[in-house]
Amino acid sequence: MSNGSTTDTLVTRLRTLVADLGPGSKLPSSRELIERYRVGPGTVSRAIATLTAEGAVVTRAGVGTFVAPRVDRPDVVSDMSWQEVSLAGREYDPANAVEATHLPTGDGIALSGGYLHESLQPTRSLGAALARAARRPDAWHRAPTAGLEPLRAVFARMAGGATTPQDVLITGGGQGALSMLFRAIVAPGGPVLMESPTYPGALAAARAAGLRPIPVPMDDEGIRLDLLADVFAMTGARLLYCQPTFHNPTGVVLAPDRRRRLIEVARSANAFVIEDDFARHLRHGLAAPAPLVTEDHDGTVVYLTSLTKPASPSLRIGAVIARGPVMRRLLGMRYVDDFFIARPLQEAAVELLSTPGWDRHLNSLRAELRDRCAALVGALARQVPDYTVSNVPYGGLHLWVRLPPDRQAAAVADACRARGVLVDAGDRFFPAEPPGAYLRLNFAAAGSVAELAKAASKLS
């Protein structure tokens, strides 16, 4: 049993104990708790700290831990209806609040969301990196606005080409960076071109910034450049958001002959390209093509990447690579938004990326992703042969599955949830009306290959 689950179990038991005791009652000593519940001293310490933070107990140095006084809260009926009036006119899309659907309960199986199952995350390496970072004498000093120089240098090397550390801005993951980029480049009310389908988080960020997402269709070689030039001309757009490598949700990689041409089309329209390279480290074997930014010399491409996908959702560290006035604007927005990214987290990222263990993690992760992808493709072919997987990706976390014509994605997703399998309905991946019914299935979110097979059988 992991430390986390052991601690959670002890916290639950201690809550019951606290409820049975009166305020001011002393809890058993740490030694007694260790013997009674057969746990380690670290588990007891973490459990007591959790209850203290909740206000359930108070600790007195050298004396012990006691049940906290209970606070009587009078029954008050709150009236929040005034907020509906005050917030009127500010658009809100409830479809953006999707986090709860990514948390299975009991023996449920998650094929939803965009992160690795905890068993695939380098948890020990992350813990060791954070511990080493915390021991640095300057760990809690203010970080530079653009980020720590060693971390910027690491991201510059990852991108390749002529990228320098001075071109890199460290961000709090990818999602916050997307929001900042949309606000920095396009004025409210303006259009932003997007592949169709695309990442729902990008759609949500664009709409929250007051922008109008405009779809550009894709085929099995990526975004259709014959249509892209026309859409730029029709809309006057000055920004394209795209995922050229292991596209989410389709897994498609932009064809080699389209990569340079995409930059040329955007440059001709005096437009920026946001290259979201979230899956650079998630290839299943074959090398991924070089980022578009390495072929750009005029500042057309603004590059975005993150460590949350290959490492952990809580490693909120990403990077933007930009050149020219747009970088100066981003630095100004950083100063207004949050000044800088927490230094201990940046130091931990430097520690993580600078050890041989990082490369070992990526190698094992690639093998696991390859096996899981193949297993789910095979299980779907056997269990639901009328579901179509037109592209088997060689990178990323997802399968993009087309449903039969008589199915609706939302209805299928609801039926799956009722059977304990969480999937993402495809409708919200489209900037406009979806051309068909799709599901996005995350083969890295389940606990094992066996769970993938079980989920496929439930889909049938």
255 and 136 in one domain? yes
Q: What tokens does 310 get?
A: 């290959």
CATH of the domain at 434: 3.90.1150.10
Percent of residues, the chain, with pLDDT higher than 90 = 73
128 and 59 in one domain? no
pLDDT at 1 over 60: no
Mean pLDDT, residues 102-113: 76
Is residue 92 in some structural domain? no
Q: CA-based angle 127:132:135, to the nearest 5?
A: 130
Per-residue pLDDT of 113-143, as tens digits, reads: 999 999 999 999 999 999 999 998 888 999 9
Phi and psi at residue 364, to the nearest 5°: -70, -35
Is residue 91 in some structural domain? no
Residue that terminates a domain, selected from 314, 334, 355:
355
How many domains is the chain partitioned into structurally? 3
pLDDT band at residue 92 using 50, 70 and 90 as cut-offs: low
108 and 24 in one domain? no
Q: How many residues does the chain have?
A: 460
328 and 236 in one domain? yes
In the chain, what's the furthest Cα-to-Cα distance? 75
Is there a contact between 194 and 216 (Cβ–Cβ < 8 Å)? yes
Is residue 57 in some structural domain? yes
How far is residue 323's CA from residue 169's CA, in Å, rounded to a whole number?
A: 10
CATH of the domain at 28: 1.10.10.10
Is there a contact between 387 and 406 (Cβ–Cβ < 8 Å)? no
pLDDT band at residue 106 using 50, 70 and 90 as cut-offs: low
183 and 277 in one domain? yes
228 and 240 in one domain? yes
Is residue 77 in some structural domain? no
Sequence-separated (6 or more) residues with CB below 8 Å from residue 3? 42, 43, 46
Instruction: Supply the pLDDT for residue 190.
Output: 95
Residue 328's SS3 state is: helix
Q: Which range has the worst mean pLDDT, 97-111, 207-221, 314-328, 372-386? A: 97-111
107 and 22 in one domain? no
146 and 241 in one domain? yes
pLDDT at 245 over 60: yes
Domain hosting residue 407, numbered range: 100-122+358-459
Residue that terminates a domain, selected from 51, 67, 83:
67
370 and 432 in one domain? yes
- Tell how many helices (H) and how many strands (E) occur in the chain: 15, 15
435 and 365 in one domain? yes
pLDDT at 105 over 90: no
Is residue 87 in some structural domain? no
Is residue 76 in some structural domain? no
Is residue 246 in some structural domain? yes
Per-residue pLDDT of 286-315, as tens digits, reads: 889 999 999 998 999 999 999 999 999 999
pTM to 2 decimals?
A: 0.85
134 and 272 in one domain? yes
pLDDT at 388 over 50: yes
CATH of the domain at 154: 3.40.640.10
Residue that terminates a domain, selected from 338, 355, 372:
355
Instruction: Supply the pLDDT for residue 100.
Output: 45
Per-residue pLDDT of 28-53, as tens digits, reads: 999 999 999 998 888 999 999 999 98
332 and 245 in one domain? yes
Phi and psi at residue 25, to the nearest 5°: -70, 145
Instruction: Supply the pLDDT for residue 286.
Output: 84
Phi and psi at residue 110, to the nearest 5°: -95, 120
Residue 450, Cβ neighbours under 10 Å: how many?
A: 11
Instruction: Supply the pLDDT for residue 98.
Output: 52
Is residue 397 in some structural domain? yes
